[in-house]
Amino acid sequence: MKAVRFHEYGGLEVLKFEEAPKPEAGASEVLVRVHASSVNPIDWKIRAGHLRGFREYPLPFILGWDVSGVIESVGPGVTQWKAGDEVFGRPDLARPGAYAEYVAVREGEIARKPAALDYIQAAAIPLAGLTAWQALFDVAELKPGQRVLIQAAAGGVGSLAVQFAKLKGLYVAGTASGRNQDFLKELGVDQPVNYETTRFEDVVHDMDAVIDALGGEIRTRSWKTLKKGGILVALLGGPPSEEGAKELGVRQTVMWVKPNPAELTEIGDLAASGKIRVILDSVFSLQDAARAHERSQTEHARGKIVLKVEDQVGNHG
Ligand SMILES: NC(=O)c1ccc[n+]([C@@H]2O[C@H](COP(=O)([O-])OP(=O)(O)OC[C@H]3O[C@@H](n4cnc5c(N)ncnc54)[C@H](OP(=O)(O)O)[C@@H]3O)[C@@H](O)[C@H]2O)c1
C-alpha cells in the first residue's frame, strides 16, 4: 500500500510517501481502508523526536491517529463489525497510524460514521473531540451553569471544547490571538480574551475549571482564574507541581485521551445533526503530509488539519 512513513527522526523532509506493507487485522481488530486522517500536534512532536525517551517507535513508522474510512476485513473474534461498514476512530498511539491506505485498529477504537458526516469531517473529530469531551465532562465533571476557561480555544481541541461546553450550558471564557476574536464569538465563547493585548488572569475569574492546551507558564497563570476547589486539566506537560496550586486551593491533573466508542458516537451525532460544527483549518492530500505538518507546527491552526487519502492514491474510485 501507499503510506507516509519516517525512517529517522527529524524535520519535515523525513516524511516519505512510499510503498509500505499492508497491515492485517489481528484478533479483535478490523482493517480500515482509509478515506481521511488528520494531523494532531503530537504527530510532528513525535516525528521531530521530542517524545523520545517517553515512547520509542520502531522505524520506519506511520503516524496518524485519526481515521475515517470503510472496513475492508475483520479479524478473528470480531462480531460487531463487517466489511463495508463506514467508521471513524482514534487508533492506539502505540501502534502505526492512518497516514496510509490501510490501518488495522482494535474494534473498540472505532464508532459508526454518521451518514450525514463526510469522511473529511469525520477524520477531524476523534482525537480532538474525545480530548475535549473527556477533559470537560469525565475529568473536570462540569455541570450546567458552571464556568470554564478554555486555553487555545480556536485550535483543534479548543474549537470543539467551546461548542461542547456551550451545548451543556456552561459559561465559557476562551483565549486566542486578535485574529481569532470574532471566530471565538461565532463559536459561542461568552468571554473571548485576546492574549496579545490582555493577560487572561487579569480579566477571567471564578472559574470551576481550566482546560489547558498550552502548558508552561500558562498553566501556573491559569491557577489564578480558578475559584477555590476548581480544577485545571492539563493536556500536555509532565505531572504538575503541587506547590503554588495548593496555596491557592486549586486542583490540577494531567489527562491523556482514551478510546471511547460511546462518546465518539455521541460527538459524531452532534456533528451530523448540525449541533456542533467541525472547523477545518485546511485539507491536504496524503502526499502533502509534510506541508500539513508545517501548518500544524505554526501552532496557529484554526480548527483541524485533515489529510485526504482515498482518491489521492487512486485506488478507491
Ligand atoms: N492530553 C491529550 O490527550 C491531548 C490530546 C490532544 C491534544 N493535546 C495537546 O493539546 C494541545 C492543543 O492541541 P490542538 O490540536 O488543539 O492544537 P492546535 O490546533 O495546533 O492549536 C492551535 C491553536 O493554538 C492557539 N494558540 C497558540 N498560542 C496561544 C496562546 N498563547 N494563547 C491562546 N491560544 C494560543 C492558536 O490560536 P491563535 O492562532 O489565535 O494564536 C491556534 O488556534 C497540543 O499541545 C496537543 O499536543 C493533548
**∠ at Cα 219 (215, 223), nearest 5°?**
165
Atom of ligand 1 nearest to the CA of 151: 33
Give the CA distances from residue 3 to residues 17, 55, 143, 188, in Å, rounded to whole numbers and listed in that order: 6, 22, 43, 38
Return the pLDDT at 242.
Answer: 73
Whose CA is closest to 170, among 146, 190, 137?
Answer: 146
Find the 152 Cα to ligand 1 centroid distance in Å.
Answer: 5
Which of residues 248 and 25 earns the better pLDDT score?
Answer: 25
The protein residue whose alpha carbon is closest to atom 31 in ligand 1 is 195
The span from the CA of 103 to the CA of 164, in Å, is 29
Least confident of 7-11, 217-221, 238-242, 254-258: 238-242
Return the pLDDT at 311.
Answer: 65
**Per-residue pLDDT at 304 exceeds 50:** yes
Per-residue pLDDT, averaged over 66-90, amounts to: 98
For CA atoms 291, 294, 296, 298, the dihedral sign is negative
**Per-residue pLDDT at 241 exceeds 80:** no
**Per-residue pLDDT at 316 exceeds 50:** no
Per-residue pLDDT, averaged over 150-162, amounts to: 98
SS3 label, residue 53: coil
**Per-residue pLDDT at 153 exceeds 50:** yes
Tens digit of pLDDT for each residue in 192-212? 999 999 999 999 999 999 999
The span from the CA of 250 to the CA of 201, in Å, is 15
Query: Best mutation site among 46, 131, 134, 157 for ligand 1, i.e. most ligand atoms within 8 A of its Cβ?
Result: 157
Query: Best mutation site among 66, 214, 221 for ligand 1, i.e. most ligand atoms within 8 A of its Cβ?
Result: 214
Query: Best mutation site among 193, 220, 235 for ligand 1, i.e. most ligand atoms within 8 A of its Cβ?
Result: 235
Find the 241 Cα to ligand 1 centroid distance in Å.
Answer: 21
The span from the CA of 303 to the CA of 154, in Å, is 6
pTM metric for this prediction: 0.97
Pocket-forming residues, ligand 1, beta carbon under 6 Å: 40-42, 127-128, 131, 151-152, 154-158, 175-177, 179-180, 195, 213-214, 235-236, 255-257, 296, 299-302
Q: Of all residues in the chain, what percent carry a pLDDT higher than 90?
A: 91
The span from the CA of 16 to the CA of 3, in Å, is 8
**Per-residue pLDDT at 313 exceeds 80:** no
Size (the chain), residues: 317
Find the 214 Cα to ligand 1 centroid distance in Å.
Answer: 6
- The grid coordinates of residue 175 equal 483565549
Least confident of 87-91, 188-192, 309-313: 309-313
pLDDT band at residue 315, thresholds of 50, 70 and 90? very low
pLDDT band at residue 240, thresholds of 50, 70 and 90? low
Residue matched to cell numbers 475515517: 68
Which three-class secondary structure string do you get for 242-308?
CCCHHHHCCEEEECCCCCCHHHHHHHHHHHHCCCCCCCEEEEEEHHHHHHHHHHHHCCCCCCEEEEE
pLDDT band at residue 122, thresholds of 50, 70 and 90? very high
Per-residue pLDDT, averaged over 159-175, amounts to: 98
Atom of ligand 1 nearest to the CA of 41: 47
